Amino acid sequence: MQSEAPTSSPRHVAIIMDGNGRWAEARGLPRTAGHRAGVERVREAVRTAGEAGIEYLTLFAFSSENWRRPEQEVSDLMGLLRFFVRKDLAELHRENVRVKVIGCRQNIQPDIRALLTDAENRTRENTGITLVIAFNYGARDELVRAARKLVEDVQSGVLDAAAIDEAAVSGRVDTAGIPDPDVVIRTSGEQRLSNFLLWQAAYSEFVFLPCLWPDFDRAAFHEALVEYAGRERRFGVVSAPCIAVGS
């Protein structure tokens, strides 16, 4: 039976797209086939999020740890990224999607760095959904880089050390200016963050789905949104119990 539509939609959804390799291996295919199938789901996820009124969609595309994968697989992933940006950027721009890339830009191929920068620049003024691509991203690395910025700002006199607070840190992480994710979805049945948005996900809801990423279709996205809509978000605050008069 189909679930009812969610009564409330999150502003910001973040997704750990997991399971491409396992999807391919289960079908006797090379892992690259799983990554290619996963790209199709990226396109569908962006459309579905836009239709659901979601303002920000963050996708964990390539972690800073993924460089440790076999060289051929990394090469294939870089090729897919080049293909996706070159093929889909014009359509994303036409659909009024704004692209933002988070992660470390150092030590990546110059042509990929240029593609990512072009995607951001070309869509900067768009006012539709913001697609945040986490590429060469690791949350611990992000926090280290934010700490360095804080030190530099203190040393240069821009910031007083005594004024460092949560807002100061939030203003120096990669997602500065973007609201924290309301919900983090992970496919493949794994139940961990894997160094993803550790600072930003402090009060996020988590939805773990058993399906592998290439099987994450519109219905699966809808299922995750329905589960989110049923959550009660308290942000550490507990409502006081009602006391009956005369008790």
Catalytically active residues are 18, 66
Q: Is 69 annotated as a binding residue?
A: yes
Q: Is 126 annotated as a binding residue?
A: no
d(Cα 68, Cα 93) in Å, to the nearest integer? Answer: 33
Both tokens of residue 82? 């080049």
CB-CB contact of 15 with 60 (8 Å):
yes
Q: Is 213 annotated as a binding residue?
A: no
d(Cα 186, Cα 17) in Å, to the nearest integer? Answer: 6
Q: Is 96 annotated as a binding residue?
A: no
Both tokens of residue 216? 């994450």
Quick one: 22 exposed, middle or buried, by C-beta within 10 A (0-12, 13-18, 19+)? middle
Q: Is 67 annotated as a binding residue?
A: yes
Q: Which residue has the tokens 């699966």?
A: 220
| CB burial string 163-201: b at 16+ within 10 A, e below | ebeeebbbebbbbeebebbbbbbbbbeeeebebbbebbb
d(Cα 140, Cα 243) in Å, to the nearest integer? Answer: 46
Q: Is 63 annotated as a binding residue?
A: yes
Q: Is 193 annotated as a binding residue?
A: yes
d(Cα 213, Cα 232) in Å, to the nearest integer? Answer: 27
Q: Is 22 annotated as a binding residue?
A: yes
Q: Is 171 annotated as a binding residue?
A: no
Q: Is 194 annotated as a binding residue?
A: yes
Number of Cβ within a 10 Å radius of residue 41:
24
Q: Is 205 annotated as a binding residue?
A: yes
Annotated binding site for substrate: 19-23, 31, 35, 63-65, 67, 69, 186, 192-194
Annotated binding site for Mg(2+): 18, 205
Annotated binding site: 18-23, 31, 35, 63-65, 67, 69, 186, 192-194, 205
